[in-house]
Amino acid sequence: MSDIPKIPRTRGAKNAPPAPPEQDFPEEFSTQDKAVSEKHRFPCPACGSDLRFSADKGDLMCDHCGHVEHVSAVGRDQWGNALRELDYEAAQRNQVPSDEIVEIRSAHCDSCGADIEMSQMEQAKECPFCASPIVTDTGSHRQLKPQALLPFKLDERSAHKKMSDWLGRLWFAPNGLKEYARKGRKMTGIYVPYWTYDADTRSRYSGQRGDDYYTTHTRVVDGERRTERVRKTRWTRVSGRVARQFDDVLVLASDSLPRDYTDALEPWDLGELVPYEPRYLAGYAAEGYSVELEGGFTIARQKMDAVIATDIRRDIGGDHQRISTVDTAVSEVTFKHILLPIWMAAYKFRGKSYRFVVNARTGEVKGERPWSAWKIAFAAFLVALLIGGFLYLNQMQ
């Protein structure tokens, strides 16, 4: 099959002229492109305005007339399983079912590398990750569609307060940035792409086990005999096997945000994942994945190996452990492409960009820590003053 995630994404010519006013779509887009665009737009049946997914209500709402439509999680199989795992090896053999592929159009930000999904009528916008202006191309590309997502749970006002409170606890942050963030523009709600991997692992290892023991030594210090206990370690060679089943090893499928940012937003309540439904995306941006399936699994293996090493140390036992070799067999690998919600703020303050992200489920905040030069200098002056005063009082005494 040709519709597989490893196909290079092809793009059309940049800065193509906009469509004439009487056309609904540019001529370059196919009928399939139009269907995708319409699928993500949900007009209100009462007034025709666009509906949006309300984080606090959990339903589609119309801000113009107040109409509400319930969003139900669909896509369960005949056994009631909400989520579908895909076979990793089948994907490597280009055997992904065609109904798992979707054609999307996105804007690429040259500043931070983000790929933001766009509607077919949008031609330019600002990158929510770095606040840089970006212009779309007029091409489309195929990607694996998400199997599941976590809906937004915090609204923009709540997320903004979380961010402001977080900034308020940073004493060395510039006051101007704090005020700018509190009174600045609204935050952007974004669905960020992730891979999750399941796998069965069986590992054979060799190493050494260290057991502590004590000996008693007597020595003379300043004419006095002193008895001391000295700890020593006895090392013995060991080998063994450990096994572990991994479930939902989470890997960020994007390079637009530093991984320490997104890692700081964990844990995610993955038990609340719902099958992918485009209605949840109404009113929010969505980022396409830029880390391909194989690259994501490489990162997942690093996480698995760290857990396996912990299992081996526990299996070796003793007071200390040394691991010499590990041979791990991995089988039954499956994966999902999921979307997780964050609120994003990108501010430019005195020529420098600052980014802040909020977990739209738990309210956990992470961002680039800003520093105020005068606050640091003032703190250093106070410390020097206190030390000087302490030394002066000692001299007076």
Angstrom distance (rounded) from CA 123 to CA 121: 6
Structure confidence by residue, pLDDT tens digits, 26-76: 322 233 333 333 345 688 888 888 888 888 888 888 888 888 888 865 544
The pLDDT of residue 153 is above 90: yes
Contacts of 270 (CB under 8 A, 6+ apart): 150, 196, 248, 250
Which has the higher per-residue pLDDT, 8 or 123?
123
The pLDDT of residue 349 is above 90: no
State the pLDDT at residue 302: 97
Q: How many CA atoms lie within 13 A of 67 on its CB side?
A: 15
Angstrom distance (rounded) from CA 357 to CA 225: 63
Sign of CA dihedral 123, 127, 131, 134: negative
Average of per-residue pLDDT values in the chain: 76
Put simply, whether the predicted model's pTM sits higher than 0.85 gets the answer: no
The pLDDT of residue 8 is above 50: no
Q: Highest mean pLDDT range out of 224-233, 269-278, 311-320? A: 311-320
Structure confidence by residue, pLDDT tens digits, 239-278: 999 999 999 999 999 988 888 888 999 999 998 999 998 8
Which has the higher per-residue pLDDT, 197 or 50?
197
Domain ranges of the chain: 31-39+72-208+237-380
State the pLDDT at residue 323: 97
Structure confidence by residue, pLDDT tens digits, 120-134: 445 456 666 666 666
The pLDDT of residue 361 is above 90: yes
Q: Residue 231: in which H helix or E strand, if any?
A: strand 224-252
Q: Could you tell me the strand order of the sheet in which 59-61 lies?
A: 52-53, 59-61, 68-70
